[in-house]
Structure 1
Amino acid sequence: MSVYIIAQLMFTRRELYDRYQARFTDVFKKFRGKLLVADADPVVLEGEWPRDKVVIMEFPDDAAAKEFQSSPEYQEISVDRKAGADAIVLVVRGL
């Protein structure tokens, strides 16, 4: 069953997030994921959403998502993401 990692980001130090983003694709392509959404200008239809960007990644299963998230390569670049953006990150299961 597919799983999705959904990140909602609010930039705090854009230059650090941009450095993370510049390295992200090279790391991500080593794993079995698919980048579905990376929208820095989402439209809010209802409610308040004090964030700047939404990212949605699809993985074939929970193990693949965990492999990406815990990999040394991702952990190395995620330092800049954590320093450059406040994030809410979820793993959700597909139907």
Structure 2
Amino acid sequence: MPAYIIARFRIHDRESYDRYEAAFMRVFSKFQGKLLSVDEAPEVLEGDWDYTRSVLIEFPDKAAAKAWITSPEYRAIAKDRLNASEGQVIIVEGLPPHA
């Protein structure tokens, strides 16, 4: 069953975040993920939103998503993201295919 990483960030150090972003695809491409959306101007339909970036990533399953986010390669580049932004990252399971 597919799994999705949903993240939202408030970037306060663009230079450090740009370093993270420059290295992201090199690491990400090794983990069967699919980058579905990166948006710095999402349209708010309900509620409050004070984040400057939203990200949606699909993986074949939770195990693949966790392998990526806990990998030494990702943790090494994530230091720049963690220093450059505040945010939240969650993982959710997709729905089973309709029978």
Counterpart-to-counterpart distance in 2, 1:41 and 1:18: 17
Structure 2 partner of 1:4:
4
Structure 1 partner of 2:25:
25
**TM-score, normalized by length of structure 2?**
0.93
For residue 28 of structure 1, report the CA deviation from its aligned partner: 0.4
Task: Describe the SS at the equivalent of 1:75.
Answer: helix
- For residue 75 of structure 1, what is the amino acid of its counterpart? R
After the TM superposition, which parts of structure 1 deviate over 6 Å for at least 4 consecutive aligned residues?
none
For residue 47 of structure 1, report the CA deviation from its aligned partner: 1.5
The structure number with the bigger radius of gyration is: 2
Structure 1 partner of 2:42:
42
Counterpart-to-counterpart distance in 1, 2:38 and 2:26: 16
Q: Which runs of 5+ in 2 are unaligned?
A: none
Matched residue count: 95
Counterpart-to-counterpart distance in 1, 2:7 and 2:15: 18
Q: For residues 66-85 of structure 1, what are the structure 2 equivalents within 5 Å?
A: 66-85=66-85
Task: Describe the SS at the equivalent of 1:43.
Answer: coil
Counterpart-to-counterpart distance in 1, 2:32 and 2:67: 9
Q: Which runs of 5+ in 1 are unaligned?
A: none
Counterpart-to-counterpart distance in 1, 2:45 and 2:81: 27
